[in-house]
Structure 1
Amino acid sequence: MKRWGNMARVFTRLGKEIAIAVKSAGPDPDSNSRLRVLMQNAKAANMPKENVERAIKRATSREMDDYKEIVYEGYAPYGIAVVVETATDNNNRTVANVRSYFNKAGGSLGTQGCLDFLFERKSVFKIKNSDSIDIEELELELIDFGVDEVFVDEDEVIIYGAFEAYHKIQTFMEEQGIEIVSGEFERIPLDQKEVTDEQRESIEKLLDRFEEDEDVVNVFHNMK
């Protein structure tokens, strides 16, 4: 049941991200590069094709709720920085929930941008690894497009690049016929804080509360 619950939350979040992408640049994946990658993300998450089509259709209809992307920043107990990315049609509800989660855990919600100095935003792509891909050559080519790290993780190649280079990296790989498994943005902590096992357990309970909220898309922290 927990697995199905997690899948439902992933599908809901992807649906919101797809809707926001469609609202921003239209429903045609050929001309909407962000939508193209989100459709790949949905495929990688085993999200049914009908769900994707429904999200696109809803985004182009007048009945579609106006989802907005809002970022909340604060501190969990023991000084752990937490960034919560949301997609919501009701900011009052979402901010009340986020503040409540922080307060009940003994943390605090901060002002927007207060944690910018602790995290670096990155574009992150995953592609399928194959014998036809020369990793060193690919990395050399991608450096010109804003990539700073390429490494192999089992049957996937993970590519980290500058936040603003997302579109350039995506376009290059598509032009080279490289299949993108997923593409997203991450906030990488510039420094990580050590915690005890007991402290970790307390902080993870708070992170779980965020993850369980349907308005939350991503959660990032600097706990080691």
Structure 2
Amino acid sequence: MAGHSKFKNIMHRKGAQDKKRSNLFSKLSREITVAAKMGAPDPDMNPRLRLAINSAKAQSMPKDNIQRAIDKASGGDEESYEEVRYEGYGPGGVALIVEALTDNRNRTATNIRTAFSKNGGNLGTEGSVAHGFERLGLIEYPAAAGDEETVLEAAMEAGAQDIESSEEGHAIWTAAEDLHQVAGDLEQRLGEPEGVKLAWKPTVTVAMDEGAAGTLLKLVDTLDDDDDVQTVWGNYEIPDDVLERLG
């Protein structure tokens, strides 16, 4: 198991998401509705819905908003969303995976392609970069959940694969099929997590210099601003001093 944190670079920065809470809530609501439509409206019987609700709670989404999103799934809503994954390369050869929920594939594809082309990237075909990632479960805890040794012990006993800790918090990685079981066991030991999700973890990361990092983050921000985009994953690693200079 690892003890050094790289996960803050794997998914788009939470700080930027926090500044766009309304947009974030909209995306979380969409995921909850789709999850409820595809399975039972009871999170105890629908693992995907439970994941979506846990993610919403981690972002302090009000209970009423969560319930409305669940109710929308059985309300005969004319909107019908489908899951789409886009893959491509950003500045510096960084591999990016963009997960989206859309009711219009043509609109979303055009927006994603434009974002890549205007920010030093190239949109590829499905499967063009996914081979460089593992599909795993990711459970996130704040630093206050415990010191690295405490969290490591709890993660090992719960059957996790890996842990990455830093001053910001703890990222616990599991096999995708073990995510719910490990998350449940950890909740008994460490309390409710900040996030529980399926994730794309890169097998190799790319170190970014300041010039390429600045352009890359503009690309990621542009993608994240799109209403249809749910999550942006990448194999980039940006040194802390570079992030500070970029603000």
TM-score range, shorter chain: 0.7 to 0.9
Deviations 1:168-193 (A, max 9, x none): 32354467795343201221222222
Q: Which residue of 1 aligns with 2:155?
A: 139
Shift of 1:91: 0.9
Alignment RMSD = 2.7
Q: Which runs of 5+ in 1 are unaligned?
A: none
Q: Which residue of 2 aligns with 1:205?
A: 218
User: How many residue pairs get matched?
Assistant: 219
For CA contacts below 8 A with separation 6 or more, give which structure has more relative contact order. 2
Separation of aligned partners in 2, 1:58 and 1:195? 42
State the identity as a percent: 34
Q: Which residue of 2 aligns with 1:84?
A: 98
Cα gap change, 1:104 to 1:45, in 2 (>3 Å): same
Q: Which residue of 2 aligns with 1:167?
A: 180
Shift of 1:161: 0.8
Q: Which runs of 5+ in 2 are unaligned?
A: 1-15, 238-247
Q: Which residue of 1 aligns with 2:228?
A: 215
Letter of the 2:181 partner, please give it: K
The answer to whether the aligner puts 1:185 opposite 2:201 as a matched pair is no
Q: Which residue of 1 aligns with 2:8?
A: none
Separation of aligned partners in 2, 1:71 and 1:112? 7
TM-score by length of 1: 0.85
Deviations 1:89-122 (A, max 9, x none): 1111101110111122232211101112211222
Separation of aligned partners in 1, 2:78 and 2:105? 16
Separation of aligned partners in 1, 2:201 and 2:146? 27
TM-score by length of 2: 0.77
Separation of aligned partners in 1, 2:17 and 2:134? 31
